């Protein structure tokens, strides 16, 4: 149970040759691939994207894509339009324009939510949340809703994924910011936490720590190094998160309110420089720390995460698709509850080494799986069932 079988049955070298250039052209099928249970076909929608980070779907079929250097794009078929009016963004290292999400009532209110690295006047940055509305080729009515409580040196571990809960509140991940990992255990600091906000950025009255003076009211869960995959199962309401470890220790969590997930006193990974135990680590498990559901082996630096629910991929229904950066693959995870606890019963590797670094994975409203690749010439791809 602890070491699910991994299957790789694709032809990466053929896929690399099949894509070719497609800037502004017609969508073109690349190749049919065999996976364990589902034959798939990969379609390029557009290329020429500069380090795209996240994807959202507008009701009229257009797509929003963020580029880390600080651009918000509208993709209509293969046409790409850049929107103006964004807040000031510090694009350095891992920072920049990050996640994008539509308000659940977008068709009524038009709100688009963005997470990004916000600069101050001293060269430091914080993870922030803003919202605005599209008016032609401009984002208007832009306002910051939340800024983490402490600015710090730019470049590392911002998080920052967004996910709506069924009750209309918004989850936002914030990384530990890299240089001072114990911040993730300091509940008076937003770093290394998952925060929960109302749609206007205020604190929900039922957040788990609102009556605890030692914990910031926005914190929903804490002790996380850098969550970059976040998804809410639309059928069961479970919150799933994938988190970067140091050298090793990339994890899947089932997030529960008020829980501590341990970083950095509990970690499965090692120190980058020495390959010895991480300096702040005390154990691999500890009382009072909620254990992870799964450790990715081999390492799988995580990116986008989605739950398959639309029925176009029957063999994958209910499974998690977890994107990977340096690992250059998607992991299909079959998670089941067994004797009162959740376990990964099976792990299949998809697209291994075939499209490069995968930054985001989303199930679209049409049921297809959409993928962003993280390159200077990144791509928006669509995975669909093959007959």
Q: Per-residue pLDDT tens for 124-167?
A: 999 999 999 999 999 999 999 999 999 999 999 999 999 999 99
pLDDT at 382 over 50: yes
Angle at 241 between CA 315 and CA 175, to 5 degrees: 150
61 vs 75: CA distance, rounded Å: 9
- Domain extent, residue 168, equals 12-385
Name the residue with tokens 């376990």.
343
What is the SS3 assignment for 315? Answer: helix
Q: By the 8 A CB rule, do 183 and 191 touch?
A: yes
Question: Measured between alpha carbons, how far is 222 from 367 in angstroms, rounded to an integer?
Answer: 32
In a domain? residue 84: yes
Alpha-carbon gap, residue 141 to 126, rounded angstroms: 21
The string of DSSP codes covering 123-181 is S-EEEEEEEEEEETTEEEEEEEEEE-S--B-SSS-----EEE-TTS-EEEEE---SS-G
Residue 6 lies in a domain: no
Question: In this model, does residue 240 exceed pLDDT 90?
Answer: yes
Domain membership flag for residue 7? no
pLDDT reading at 98 higher than 70: yes
Q: Which residues have C-beta within 8 Å of that of residue 13, sequence separation ≥ 6?
A: none
Could you tell me the two tokens for 197? 């906000």
Kindly state the percentage of the chain with pLDDT values over 70: 92
CATH number (domain holding residue 292): 2.120.10.30
Cα(182)–Cα(281) distance, rounded to whole angstroms?
A: 10
**Three-state SS for 331?**
strand
Average pLDDT over residues 325-340: 94
Q: Do 229 and 300 form a contact (C-beta atoms < 8 A)?
A: no
Q: Is residue 5 part of a domain?
A: no
Q: Say which of 51, 103, 157, 300 is annotated catalytic.
A: 157
pLDDT of 3 reads: 41
If you average pLDDT over residues 235-247, what whole number do you get?
93
With bands split at pLDDT 50, 70 and 90, how would you rate the model's confidence at 6? very low
**Torsion angle of the four alpha carbons 28, 319, 365, 199, in this order, in degrees rounded to the nearest 10:** -130
Contact 378, 47 (CB under 8 A): yes
157 annotated active-site: yes
Two tokens, residue 336: 């089941």
Helices (H), 223-369: none
Side by side, the strands of the sheet bearing 193-197 are: 162-164, 170-174, 193-197, 219-222
> Residue 380: its pLDDT value, please?
97
Is 301 within a domain? yes
Tokens describing residue 256:
């529960």
User: What percent of the chain has pLDDT above 90?
Assistant: 81
What residues have CB less than 8 Å from 203, skipping those under 6 apart? 197, 210, 217, 218
Mean pLDDT (the chain) is: 91
Global pTM? 0.92
Cβ atoms 313, 362 nearer than 8 A: no
Is residue 97 included in any domain, yes or no? yes
- In a 3-state reduction of DSSP, which class is residue 314? helix
Confidence of residue 21 (pLDDT cuts 50, 70, 90): very low
Count of domains in the chain?
1
């Amino acid at each position: 149970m602890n070491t699910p079988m991994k299957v790789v049955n694709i032809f990466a070298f053929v896929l690399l040759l099949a894509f070719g250039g497609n800037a502004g052209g017609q969508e073109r099928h690349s190749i049919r691939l065999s996976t364990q249970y589902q034959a798939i076909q990969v379609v390029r929608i557009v290329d020429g994207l500069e380090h795209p980070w996240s994807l959202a779907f507008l009701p009229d079929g257009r797509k929003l894509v963020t580029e880390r250097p600080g651009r918000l794009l509208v993709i209509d078929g293969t046409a790409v339009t850049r929107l103006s009016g964004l807040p000031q963004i510090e694009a350095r290292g891992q920072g920049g324009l990050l996640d994008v999400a539509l308000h659940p009532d977008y068709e009524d209110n038009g709100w688009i939510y963005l997470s990004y690295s916000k600069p101050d006047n001293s060269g430091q940055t914080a993870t922030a949340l803003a919202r605005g509305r599209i008016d032609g080729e401009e984002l208007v009515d832009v306002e910051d809703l939340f800024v983490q409580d402490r600015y710090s040196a730019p470049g590392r571990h911002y998080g920052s994924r967004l996910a709506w809960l069924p009750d209309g509140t918004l989850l936002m991940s914030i990384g530990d910011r890299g240089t001072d990992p114990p911040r993730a255990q300091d509940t008076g600091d937003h770093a290394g936490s998952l925060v929960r906000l109302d749609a206007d950025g205020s604190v929900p009255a039922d957040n788990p720590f609102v009556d605890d003076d030692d914990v910031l009211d926005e914190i929903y869960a804490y002790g996380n190094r850098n969550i970059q995959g976040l998804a809410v199962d639309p059928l069961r309401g479970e919150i799933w998160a994938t988190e970067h470890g140091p050298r090793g220790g990339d994890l899947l969590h089932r997030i529960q309110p008020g829980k501590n997930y341990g970083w950095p006193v509990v970690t499965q990974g090692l120190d980058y420089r020495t390959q010895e135990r991480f300096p702040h680590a005390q154990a691999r498990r500890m009382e009072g720390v909620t254990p992870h559901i799964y450790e990715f082996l081999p390492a799988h630096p995580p990116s986008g995460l989605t739950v398959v629910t639309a029925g176009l991929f029957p063999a994958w229904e209910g499974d998690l698709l977890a994107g990977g950066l340096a690992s250059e693959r998607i992991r299909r995870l079959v998670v089941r509850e067994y004797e009162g606890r959740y376990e990964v019963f099976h792990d299949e590797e998809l697209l291994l080494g075939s499209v490069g670094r995968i930054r985001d994975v989303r199930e679209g409203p049409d049921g297809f799986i959409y993928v962003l690749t993280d390159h200077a010439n990144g791509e928006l791809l669509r995975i669909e069932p093959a007959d």
